[in-house]
Amino acid sequence: MEGPLPLTTGTRDESASSVPRIESVAEWPRISVVTPSYNQGAYIGETIRSVLEQDYPHVEYIITDGGSTDETVEVIRQYEDRIHYWVSEPDRGQTHAIAKGWEQATGQIICWLNSDDWYYPGALATVARTFVENPGLQWLNGGVLNGYDADSIHHEHVPSNSSLAECLGRRKYGFHQPGMFWTPQLLEQAGPLDESLHFCFDHDLWCRALATGIEPLRVPQPFTFFRLHRESKTCSRRSEFLREDWVIFRRYQDKLSPGERRQAREWLRTYDVGYLVDVIYELLSQKGRVSALAYLLKRLPLIRLAPDKRAVVGALARVLGSGRCPDWWKSQL
């Protein structure tokens, strides 16, 4: 399914006057936005402002911080009179923090916005309008811009809807968490986030929703900016993401036909080995050559699928030789 384009797109600096106003407040659904946070003081202020400055009257903003030791709490306190609920206390990780936020949420539409990302002006008004204009809609799949800052866009994620086989195989993967919005009914049918997963719990939810028969409405233009930086899990923990991808594949593979299962497994193998060089260097820099070599040896049967076999040989030479990552790899982080 595809929905209407968002009413506005643009930068965080656009004036609020460019955002269409909602005429009757009572008619529009409440949107509960949960921000999980831990030691993101350098970024969370922009995240908070992007929510509070939305020209939409029914926003319920909730922040669940895991007991940050940096300036995060001081930043939150600057806005606490406009935040529906916030807490800073130890938790069991990001998934638990989000779940705690949802326990406080009363919205007809829910989502989470990580503490280093932000919404574009007009995003939530467009989300609300899309749900109102599509009765029975449970899941909206919106666009996202990935970048290091607003002036440095690395990649535009244009959403597309995937089958369960494509989702499990990370093939033509059209889902990106910052652009997702859904109803509480989706969680009632598909189930809550899985706290045993620490990296791919969003991917698990999408797969579970598809397996339940729920499909999203696609809205192509971007709602959200997804920040890339060295400290983010996406940039620094790729090996853990891949490990959980395989956990999720095994969890739902029985929902596929035998042919779909074989195809999805081959897709995921190709996706996995596409990151082989990056993961080897990631492990080499973080855990040393023993971990990097063990990972490489475990994936020897997949090397036939590697898009650049010379790069794999070069990575192996680094592991066995200098034990150091190349400068070009460090500079791309």
**pLDDT tens by residue, 134-162:** 999 999 999 999 998 877 788 899 999 89
* Interatomic CA distance for residues 290 and 158, integer angstroms: 39
pTM assigned to the model: 0.88
Residue 17 has a pLDDT of: 36
The token pair at 153 is 């866009």
- Going from N- to C-terminal start, the domains of the chain cover 16-233, 235-331
Among 63-72, 188-197, 200-209, 283-292, the range scoring the smallest mean pLDDT is 283-292
Domain 16-233: state its class. alpha beta
Q: Which residues of 284-322 are buried (b: 16+ CB within 10 A; e: fewer)?
A: bbeeebebbbebbeebeeeeebbeeeeebeebbebbeee
pLDDT classification of 231: cutoffs 50, 70, 90: low
**170 has a pLDDT exceeding 50:** yes
Nearest to 284 by CA among 316, 244, 240, 331: 316
pLDDT at 23 (0 to 100): 59
What distance in Å separates the CA atoms of residue 288 and residue 84, rounded to the nearest whole number? Answer: 45
For residue 14, the one-letter residue type is E
| Summary mean pLDDT of the chain | 90
Higher pLDDT, 32 or 25: 32
Percent over 70 (pLDDT), the chain: 89
**Mean pLDDT (whole number) for 19-38:** 80
Taking only the tens place, the pLDDT of each residue in 234-282 is 556 889 999 999 999 999 999 999 999 999 999 999 999 999 999 999 9
The vertex-184 CA angle with 178 and 188, nearest 5°, equals 115
Of 274, 304, 300, 322, nearest to 314 by C-alpha is 322
What is the rounded CA–CA span in Å between residue 109 and residue 123?
13
